[in-house]
Structure 1
Amino acid sequence: MHHVDARLARWILMIDDRVDGNHIDVTHEFLAVMIASGRSGVTDALHVLEGKRLIYSNRSLVTVRDRAALEEFAGPAYGPAERGLVHELAS
């Protein structure tokens, strides 16, 4: 339902919720499978997020630079359901 950029932002946020630190070891190909997009679409979306200085992406590594802005960018794609699950797991 959401544009590939927002779906990727959502997925990065969900991974970030579940890992220690802000570094995520993941390939473009794996991200493409997870967000139901082509690899080139993921590469383009990563470039958009990098251009907005929300993440840094390098070979098989994504680093979240500005989580709050990434959440804002994801908009309704990263909603209460995703946030609720994280808070529930933390309790």
Structure 2
Amino acid sequence: MYTQIAQGVACNRLHKLETRLARWLLTVSERLESDEFPLTQEFISQMLGVRRPGVTEAANILSQAGIISYHRGQINILNREALEKTSCECYQIIEDEYVRLLGNKSKKRPK
């Protein structure tokens, strides 16, 4: 948990919003074991510590690139590989620590 918090704080300070959004969506996807989940822009803005219009802009960038689809609070990851490339290195650092400590990451990717 400490690694996740510390890495998240550093990430929020140093990286662009769309890379942070990509990291956060990947983390949510891993925890829910799904590439489809309900999230409002208001909730995402609170979790990332930014204003809602910033989330709208970042989500539009990812959507226009064909990486996610977003409609009325429902997010679908369309291209996980591209989302991982868009995300900063923080995602992998947090995931590696999660697996190291809990050792229960499924080899099966979310669907």
TM-score (norm 2): 0.74
Tell me the distance in 1 between the aligned counterparts of 2:20 and 2:75: 15
**Cα deviation code 1:25-50 (max 9, x no counterpart):** 11000000111110000000000000
Corresponding position: 1:63 with 2:87: no
Aligned match for 2:33, one of 3, 17, 20: 20
The structure number with the bigger radius of gyration is 2
The corresponding residue for 1:34 is 47
Q: Report the 3-state secondary structure (helix = DSSP H, G, I; strand = E; otherwise coil) of the residue aligned with 2:49.
A: coil
Runs of 5+ unmatched residues, structure 2:
1-13, 107-111
Identity of aligned residues (%): 31
Deviates more, 1:68-77 or 1:8-17: 68-77
Shift of 1:24: 1.3
Deviates more, 1:68-77 or 1:51-60: 68-77
> How many pairs align?
91
Where in structure 1 do 4 or more consecutive aligned residues deviate above 3 Å?
Answer: none
Corresponding position: 1:72 with 2:98: no
Letter in 2 for 1:7: R
What is the RMSD of the two structures over their aligned residues, measured on CA atoms? 1.7
Runs of 5+ unmatched residues, structure 1:
none
Letter in 1 for 2:89: P
Q: Report the 3-state secondary structure (helix = DSSP H, G, I; strand = E; otherwise coil) of the residue aligned with 1:46.
A: helix
Tell me the distance in 2 between the aligned counterparts of 1:77 and 1:51: 23
**Cα deviation code 1:16-73 (max 9, x no counterpart):** 0011331111100000011111000000000000011110000111100011110001
Shift of 1:77: 3.4
